[in-house]
Structure 1
Amino acid sequence: MTRNVFEKTVEFIRNLDGARSPAEVCEMLLASVSQFGAEYVLAGIIPGPGTSRQQQVSSVVLDHWPKDWSLRYFSHGYIFRDPTIRSVQTSPASFLWSELEPICRSDTYAWRVMDEAGDFKLRQGFTIPLTTLDGDVAGFSIAGERLEISPEDRGVLTLLATYALGRSILLREEDRSTITLTPRERETLQWAAEGKSEWEIGERMGISEHGVDKHMRSAREKLGTRTRTHAVAEAIRLRLIK
């Protein structure tokens, strides 16, 4: 590691203490990893088999990924066939996505996931397996149209990823204690998590669809989300609902 790279890495780590949210951490990361050609960053805890779509979404900690690709990825259950996830779960070594070619050759579904990712400007990527203080397996990825990462850069990126993910998880835990939902808002989200429509939720709660929408909008605002699915995922992540 050259002195210039070392100094920039130390500066990044020090600046992380000033980040007030995972979103700010993500912005700082993007500014740092752009030197490698990266345009996107994604990191999160690897969910276990059989987890719901909402739980999968809520496992994401740092998210600057193409939105259309994320929607397709989670709605099609790609997380359970993604070769990058498989590699994170089986080896502690970081890897370029191009190094997954042997897996993709033997698994057409894995090849499909990676090929479709390329259609969303995720043509080249680099992934780092990590372990949280709680012992959970996590993955950290950067991607773009073209990356330039040397063997030396891998160590730098692993250091950046470790501190960024740790800081983001801490910030999420701090946010958890500040969000409160009313009993009606929690009930609305709980029924939504079970796949009920607004009409069905209204029938169970004894209120109109307009009343359901009112509770849902209020919950979304408190959780800082824009969609019903994201609100449910965030409420599950914060353990406000089951």
Structure 2
Amino acid sequence: MLGVLSQTVAEICAAEDLRQLEAALTRGTQALGFVSFNLCCGKASGREFMTDPTLTTWTLEERVAYDRDGWFERDPLLAHAVGTGPTLAWRRTDWQAGPHHDYYEYITSVGLQGGITVPMNRGSGRLGALTMLSLEDRPSQDRVHAAEIVANTARARLAAIGVENAVGRSASAGFRALSPCQKEILKWAAMGKSNADIGLIMGMTRRGIDYHMSAILRKLGVNSRVQAIVIFAQHHA
């Protein structure tokens, strides 16, 4: 799973336009064990998640039928996507009883078994989320974690190519404070290289790369390598 995630993050960070980003997300979605995705950023309402998604593998016919049948008013996944709650991992039987039985019948009819919805709403007044759908049962915790990383990396890349302004001021200042060497280290990290690999590529020791990575995290004000890669994706257009 870690190798698949690293490759997906690297491809997202390397995308230079929406077409390349969509291709990277499509490959990553499939490699992570899902059959489709819908990514929305900067939307004014939940209805736009289906009528005007930022990037999606769902066909126009599917989205037209969804809107025509009024699912945006009774879809529990959409209700979660526009909220501020945690990532939701679900399986079809979660909707079998209670007020969403019609949704259970709907997803049963299209052969879905489970999925993940990652809300990305940060108080800006604009809405965003990533939803991935699966033909298997409730996704594992590893896949939940992977989906969260993919969602935030993709959002950052959208900002880098000018689709959404999602770069925080402190992160921008921290990125500018990085040395050329540290930016190169982040570039290789975004391509899925380990610190040992980066040391070999750059002619440095593993210990030296570890030292620089610690400095990178400190300058960017983040706690993890993945968060640093997300910021790199925001700035490396």
- TM-score, length of structure 2 as denominator length: 0.56
Distance 2:162 2:108 in 1: 30
Question: Paired residues, what number?
Answer: 163
The answer for the alignment partner of 1:85 in structure 2 is 78
Partner of 1:157: 147
Judge conservation of contact 2:45–2:127 (CA < 8 Å) in 1.
no
The amino acid that maps onto 1:16 is: I
SS at 2:16 equivalent? coil
8 Å CA contact 1:37–1:144 kept in 2: the answer is yes
Letter in 2 for 1:158: E
Which residue of 1 is the match for residue 45 of structure 2? 48
1:18-74 alpha-carbon deviations (Å, 9 max, x no partner): 32333322221222232332111111145437x6x7x9522x111101443212111
* 1:17 equivalent in alignment to 2:32: no
What is the Cα deviation at residue 17 of structure 1? 3.4
Q: Do residues 105 (structure 1) and 97 (structure 2) align?
A: yes
Counterpart position of 2:135: 145
Q: CA deviation at 1:155?
A: 1.4
Query: What SS does structure 1 have at the residue aligned with 2:85?
Result: coil
CA distance in 2, matches of 1:146, 1:96: 12
Q: Is the 8 A contact 1:125 1:142 kept in 2?
A: yes
Query: Residue 34 of structure 1 aligns with which residue?
Result: 30
In structure 1, stretches of 5+ residues that fail to align are 175-242
1:62 — aligned with what?
Answer: 55
Q: Percent identity?
A: 13
Contact residue 66 and residue 120 of structure 1 kept, 8 A: no
SS in 1 for 2:139: coil
Q: Is the CA contact (8 Å cut-off) linking 2:36 and 2:134 kept in structure 1?
A: yes
Normalised by the length of structure 1, the TM-score is 0.55
Q: What letter matches 1:116 in structure 2?
A: Y
Cα deviations across residues 180-210 of structure 1 (Å, max 9, x unaligned)? xxxxxxxxxxxxxxxxxxxxxxxxxxxxxxx
* Worse overlay, 128-137 or 153-162: 128-137
Q: Do residues 75 (structure 1) and 68 (structure 2) align? A: yes
Gaps of 5+ in 2: 165-237
Counterpart for residue 218 of structure 2: none
Tell me the CA shift for residue 129 of structure 1.
Answer: 1.1
How far residue 141 of structure 1 moved from its aligned partner, in angstroms, is: 0.9
